[in-house]
Chains A and B, each alone.
Chain A
Amino acid sequence: MIKAKNICKSFTDLEVLSNVSFAVKQGEVISIIGPSGSGKSTLLRSLIGLEKINSGQLFIEGTQVKDDNKIAYRKMGMVFQGFNLFPHKTVLENLIEAPLVVNKEKKALAIKRAENLLKKVGLFDKKNSYPAQLSGGQKQRVAIARALAMKPDIMLFDEPTSSLDPELVGEVLTVIKDLADENITMLIVTHEMGFARDVSDRVFFMDQGKIISDTVPEKIFVNPESKRIQTFLTKILSQNDSSQ
């Protein structure tokens, strides 16, 4: 499904991804964890073409993605920490924008699917609201539905709950969990360790631009192999406790 080979990415003289390689199978759910600045966002952004990689190869469903082959990017949807909904469009308009403009779908059809997606994330009654009228958790659920409206095979989440008030985190994680059950391939950058452990088939631990551990959740959370990961987990778990 996704295959990355020796991906390198630098910002001027700062190397942010160094020789990252991994493979993700259809339907797998991957959590990406690691300290701040380790390159998690950059990795996701490189996958979907928001950042240009300096070297290495990237295959999506067997097709190599390049600047002149943007089609492969369309297999992916992305959800951002800051939602990035279009504020001048209603919830429904946010969902149908790309299906209409990019895929040239029939409007009635696009609306129908958008309404179904809104039902799925529990926001059908908000379809005519503007983003400014929604809570953070609702915004993020709309953002997820908007990405799904393009029927992606792969969903990328970059800290989807990090800018939410603690009491709103659950509703978003529930929606993502439902997606995981639907066999959609997902890469999720998150600081929610309990969620990562629950939902993922594998966990990538990133540090200084490398995936230093790629393993099943039990292994990383119950029995972390390296000191580095242990330290990180101890720190983040105590942070999560103190914030609750």
Chain B
Amino acid sequence: MFDYIVNVSGYILEGSLITFQLYLVTAVFSVGLGIAGALGKISKIPFLQAILSFYTWVFRGTPLLLQLFFAYYGLPVLGITLQPFPAAALTFIINYGAYFTEIFRGGIESIPEGQYEAAEVLGLNYRQTMSRIIIPQTVKRVLPATSNEAINLVKDSALVAVIGLGDLLRSAKVSVTRDFSIIPFIIAAIFYLVISSIIVTVFRKLEKKYSVYE
């Protein structure tokens, strides 16, 4: 029994490598996309704002699973074939980028106008004002919402099992079917809980660090 648990855990751990990779790639690029999107949305360029509004409307208003199917099964119809991992990564980045765009936009807009004015009369230019005054204050304000998304992403990552990517959940399911045992699912649940807990802890630390000034 103990040997079995160790064996299955090892197998599921292998699957979780894909989950980790997907998580990292998505986290890095969707946050970047979200910052760019938010800056675009608060810019005074109507064309850019329109495009970004359409983008967030579509990707926040349709199921992630549909977007995943679209990237993996739909795009080949148009002659674009993606391997499972790139298809999943692309979908997740664009989807989470849409959420982060809105979160960061809200955060930036919550910074009072007086901060911009103080920076301006001191001679800071737009780039300096954003990077040194506005964004650092925004980070603090968006931490709770970002933390939620970070945990959602752990759970959403399991969706990639449906396009045949051998992630944590899929490894567990394969074991369940093969061994006719419920233990792999329990192990998978524990894995997810551990990952989520680590993320929650990291964000708590961050929030604590940022709470020094208020």
Which residues of A approach B to under 8 Å, CB–CB?
48-50, 70, 73-74, 76-78, 80, 82, 84-89, 97-98, 101-103, 130-132, 146-147, 150
B72 to chain A, nearest CB (A): 43
Q: In chain B, residues 185-214, which have Cβ atoms closer than 8 Å to a Cβ of chain A?
A: 212-214
B121 on interface, CB distance cutoff 8 Å: yes
Bound CA span A49–B123, Å? 11
Interface residues on B, range: 10 to 19
Give the nearest-CB partner of B136 in chain A.
Answer: A88
Contact check, A98 vs B213: say whether CB atoms are below 8 A apart: no
B115 on interface, CB distance cutoff 8 Å: yes
What is the count of residue pairs linking A and B with beta-carbon distances less than 8 angstroms? 62
Residue-wise interface mask of B (114-152) relative to A, using a CB-CB cutoff of 8 A (1 in contact, 0 not): 110110111110001000110011001000000000000
With A88-B136, A130-B213 in contact, is A101–B118 under 8 Å at CB?
A: no
Chain B residues with Cβ below 8 Å from A82 are 112, 114
With A82-B114, A84-B114 in contact, is A150–B122 under 8 Å at CB?
A: yes
Which residues of B approach A to under 8 Å, CB–CB?
112, 114-115, 117-118, 120-124, 128, 132-133, 136-137, 140, 212-214
With A102-B122, A102-B124, A146-B122 in contact, is A86–B114 under 8 Å at CB?
A: no
With A48-B121, A150-B123 in contact, is A88–B137 under 8 Å at CB?
A: yes
Instruction: Pick the residue among A74, A84, A89, A131 that contacts B123 (CB under 8 A).
Output: A74
Contact check, B133 vs A86: say whether CB atoms are below 8 A apart: yes
Chain B residues with Cβ below 8 Å from A76 are 121
Show 22 residue pairs from A and B whose CB-CB distance is below 8 angstroms, ordered by the A residue.
A50-B117, A73-B123, A77-B121, A78-B121, A80-B114, A82-B112, A82-B114, A84-B115, A84-B117, A86-B115, A86-B137, A88-B140, A98-B124, A101-B124, A101-B128, A101-B132, A102-B122, A130-B214, A131-B213, A146-B122, A147-B121, A150-B122
17 extra interface residue pairs, beta carbon distance < 8 Å, beyond A80-B117, A86-B133, A102-B123: A48-B121, A74-B123, A77-B121, A84-B117, A84-B118, A85-B118, A87-B213, A88-B136, A88-B137, A98-B122, A98-B123, A98-B124, A102-B124, A131-B213, A132-B214, A146-B122, A150-B122
